[in-house]
A and B are shown apart, each in its own frame.
Chain A
Amino acid sequence: MALFSGLLVLGLVCALSLCAAAALGWDAALLPLPTLAAGAVLLSLCGCFGVLGAGAWAVPALLLLGAVYSGVRAGAAALQKAACSPGLWLFAGASAFFWVLFAVQRPMFTQWDEFTAWGAAAKLVKTMDALYVAQPYSLTASHSLPGSSMVCYLFAAFSPAFSEWACFAAVDTLLLACAAAAAAIAAPKARWPQSVLVFGAAALLPLLFQVLPAGAVGTAYRTLMADMPMGFLFGGALCAYFAAPARRSGAVLALAPLALLALYKDIAFAYSLIAAFVIALDWLCCPPQKTKPSRALPGALGVFALTALPGLLAFLGWNAYVAAADTAAAAGVGSAGLGYGAVLLGGVRQLLGIGREEGFARLMALMARAFFGRRVFLAGGGAAAVALLAVMAALGRACAPKGAARRRPLAACAGLAVGFAALYAFHLILYHYNFAASEALVLKDYERYLGPYYAGWALTAFCLLGQGAAAGAKRAPAALAAAALAVAACVAWRGIPAAGFWSDVSSLYTVRTDVQRRAAAMNAVLDWPDRVLVLSQGDDATRWYYYKYELTATVVNGWAWDEAAGTCIDGDFMNLVPEAGSDMYTYTTRGDLAQLRAHMDANACAYLLIDRSDGYLAGELGPAVAGGLGEAGPAALYRYLPGQDVCFVPVAVAESGVATG
């Protein structure tokens, strides 16, 4: 059903793109991205107003109505002409391929943030038909912005259940829509090679900007992490602007992608402002010949205001919604809890050398070295990437016909370079204020944070090179072919991991499927408001988080024993041991039956889930469990009866062992 739903929504998006392009006389490849983005933004609005379930039907219905209306208006001849768009067909074909491939392979979430943020949010949205911010249950992800969840939800409109693989396919469809926007060109039938080459190179960018150690499993195109979609939305919005037949229509086409961009991740608001700046710079530096010079600056300021607006509205609107829906959410940054303004102001002062702290100076040196030394793409570091992107801009200039088209690649490259410098400085500030010193000093996740910007930049560069090659000299397509082949060669040379999105690596999911099978048995008696304490002796938090993700219930945190204060403090997962400092497990929590009962009473727990027992647990809790508790019994869910001697009564038992099918 998830496959049917995904393909149906994909078909509707393609149909609307084709019919609207026929009515407007554009390349149909230009429209899947604005269409998808508008649908996801509309769903976010529906979610904020509490009518997400209705939105799930309304958006596909609007897509259908729009397709029928514009198709009838365009007529058969125009439709036939619009259908000659290689970008659209490649988008449709590649997206459908991902849907079918993942429907067969059924890949699962494996990355930590997919359980605690992006995947949990997508699951809750689909399961509850509502946004997650105000949900009181454990499957919350209130710090996640809704962009990713809404894209997944849009494609699951006709599916009754949540599927992890369908989320991967939905996000991949969004990535390919960005690639299609880059590949959109005027008169696509005659210039199909340019379109295909740009699409091919763009589709390889997630692999080009994936730097993995040897033997690792690649996550490109099989991840719900927000980083690469953010970079692609950034580049895709710029491509929609640059590939449109006119500047005004381009600015309008970029609005929905920019709004979705700001709804994808916190930092994406900065990306949306940079995109608005690049568009304004293009408006200023590359006006058509008939434009009076005196009108260029007001026009640029006007288009900046227009294109910055959707991101600003989305960012402020979401924060206002979160503040209204969840009064516990704090709009602060980092452990110091400083406001955004204070962080920015303090960071800029230190950047300018006013009251610069020693730690900040050290981070500046580290960031400077990282620009040259840390690999952000398969062929090298940030400096190499910027140099190659500058070469691409020069190539774009050389390929383009005379006039404003020649200035475009250079102006865009300059704007993106300025934006990159600002973003780099912003990350320096974030490392200083938002990270623990130990994490900041190793520039934790440096590649993940900055890689998406390079990817978006490369997408824009390919779009502009494609535009130049389509309109320019006879030999220009060969330059584009060389650039696209260089990307393909680099990926083939260094970018093929031990396992990628094409590989069936089902043995990696054995822990996931084991917890999933056990949780399914317990979900038969659980409901969302039920509060459950989960114990899994020997766990390193993996199984605890998996249960938190799988259970249709509210998982209650455990406690930790603060030796210095001699009191219990709030924790998360627990391995109960009789004495502090026990070497039974790596992570331990001192606790006995009395403490467990007191904790469950204080947290109004209705159930205890024992995933894995051991000798200590069997001896300590055994007398309080109806039927006793073994050292190695199957996972079981116990109803908690406060105040009674035998207070744990089994209500569900999950078979032990490993899922092997």
Chain B
Amino acid sequence: MKRAALRPAQRVALCYMAAAALWVLWCLVGSGIMLDHKLSGRMPTLTLAFEDLAAQSLVPYGEEGWYVSSDADPHLTWQGEAYVETVQLHAQYRLPPGGVALYWRRPGQRDFTEKQKVYARLTAPDEYTFTLGGEAVAALRIDPDSLGGVPVRVQDVTVNPPRAWYLRFVPGGGAWVLLLFVPVFAAAVWQALAAALPLRRR
């Protein structure tokens, strides 16, 4: 028996439904991995003071707690193995910092690399949030400024801050690009290949 070919609208709708299902699945799998790490203690919520971090190119500046970057590449490094989804830097600046970035190093990796880098977004006054999306790390390095000569007082660095569970299901900018435009592209590829390679059973 010859199976009826799918209509274009059906193909597109199926691709969008598949994308939505994949997104939910992705989030559920991510939640499962996160829960597994949480329950096994590999994903602790840590609040690190300035003293817990190894500072480089940051020298004391005036009042207690204030430091100034002595060059354009200051950094704060934390050594320790953990599963990390989000990091928050709570810091006050007296001058704008330029770019605020975080690098991570995986277990067994010797150096930090530009390929494992994320820029901060300002989520509240004095709160810089880095989203890693779930990485097993052996060390973190935060560059609090990219200019040099910037006075900063680091209140703390929070690794894996508490986060409402449902926020995981809200797509970010990149996810929206994929969810909105990849399905129709995939449907077009499907249609083109189906027309060229008719593999229908008889």
Interface residues of A (CB under 8 A from B): 86, 90, 93-94, 97, 101, 105, 192-197, 200, 203, 213-215, 217, 469, 474-478, 480-481, 484-485, 488, 498-508, 510-511, 513-514, 538, 656-661
Do residues B96 and A514 form an inter-chain contact, with CB atoms below 8 A? Answer: yes
A498 to B, closest residue via Cβ:
B117
Which residues of chain A are within 8 angstroms of B76 by Cβ–Cβ distance? none
B162 to chain A, nearest CB (A): 21
Chain B's nearest CB lies how many Å from the CB of A638?
21
Q: At the interface, yes or no: B27 with Cβ under 8 Å from chain A?
A: no
- Mark out the residues of chain B between 66 and 120 whose CB falls within 8 Å of any chain A CB in the assembled complex: 93-101, 113-115, 117-120
Provide the bound-state CA to CA distance between A213 and B117, in Å: 12
Residue of B nearest to A496 (CB): B174
Which residues of B in the span 132-174 have a Cβ within 8 Å of any Cβ on A? 147, 149, 172-174
Interface size on B, residues (CB 8 A): 42
Residues on A with beta carbons closer than 8 Å to the beta carbon of B101: 215
10 contacting pairs across A/B (C-beta < 8 A): A196-B184, A215-B117, A476-B196, A477-B192, A478-B195, A502-B174, A506-B122, A507-B99, A514-B96, A660-B125
Q: Indicate whether A658 sits within 8 Å of B189 (C-beta atoms), given known contacts A105-B173, A213-B114, A215-B117.
A: no
A192/B174 in contact, CB under 8 A = no
Asked if B1 is an interface residue, CB under 8 A from chain A, the answer is no
Contact of B99 with A508 in the complex, beta carbons under 8 Å? yes
Instruction: Assess the A504–B121 pair: CB atoms within 8 A.
Output: yes
Known: A214-B113, A474-B196, A508-B99. A484 touches B125 (CB 8 A): no
Is B188 a contact partner of A214 (Cβ separation < 8 A)?
no
**What's the minimum C-beta distance from A583 to chain B, rounded to whole angstroms?**
14
- The answer on a CB contact under 8 Å between B188 and A192 is yes
Contact of B185 among A196, A501, A661 (CB under 8 A): A196
Quick one: which of A93, A193, A498 has the most chain B CB within 10 A? A193
Interface assignment of B128: CB less than 8 Å from any CB of chain A: yes
- Flag if A510 contacts B8 (CB, 8 Å): no
Distance in Å: Cβ of B49 to nearest Cβ of chain A: 21
Contacts of A213 in B (CB 8 A): 114
CB–CB A507/B128 < 8 A: yes
Q: Evaluate contact between A508 and B119: CB separation under 8 angstroms.
A: yes
In the bound complex, do residue A511 and residue B122 qualify as a contact, i.e. CB atoms below 8 Å apart? no
Give the 5 A-B CB pairs with smallest separation, nearest first: A215-B114, A502-B173, A478-B196, A196-B188, A477-B192
Query: With A101-B173, A506-B122 in contact, is A90–B192 under 8 Å at CB?
Result: no
Hey, which chain A residues are within 8 Å of B95, CB to CB? 514, 658
A193 touches B192 (CB 8 A): yes
Q: In this assembly, does B176 line the interface, its C-beta being within 8 Å of a C-beta of chain A?
A: yes
* Residues of chain A contacted by B180 (CB below 8 angstroms): 93, 97
Q: Hey, which chain A residues are within 8 Å of B99, CB to CB?
A: 507-508
Q: Which residues of chain A are within 8 angstroms of B28 by Cβ–Cβ distance?
A: none
A214 near B195: Cβ-Cβ < 8 Å: no
- Assess the A661–B122 pair: CB atoms within 8 A: yes
Say whether B17 faces chain A, with CB atoms less than 8 Å apart: no
Q: Is the CB of A660 within 8 A of B172?
A: no
- B184 surroundings in chain A (CB, below 8 A): 86, 90, 196
Question: Smallest CB-CB separation from A657: which chain B residue?
Answer: B94
- Evaluate contact between A197 and B149: CB separation under 8 angstroms: no
**Complex interface: chain A residues within 8 A of B93 (CB):** 510, 657-658, 660
Complex contact A193–B189 (CB within 8 A): yes
A488 near B185 with CB under 8 A, answer: yes
Asked if residues A658 and B96 are in contact (CB atoms below 8 Å), the reply is yes
Q: How far apart are the CA atoms of A193 and B189 in the complex, in Å? A: 7
Nearest A residue to B97 by beta-carbon distance? A510
Q: Given the complex of chains A and B, what is the CA–CA distance between A169 and B176 in angstroms?
A: 16
Asked if B191 is at the interface of the complex by the 8 Å CB criterion, the answer is yes
Are A499 and B189 also in contact (CB < 8 A) when A477-B196, A507-B99 are?
Answer: no
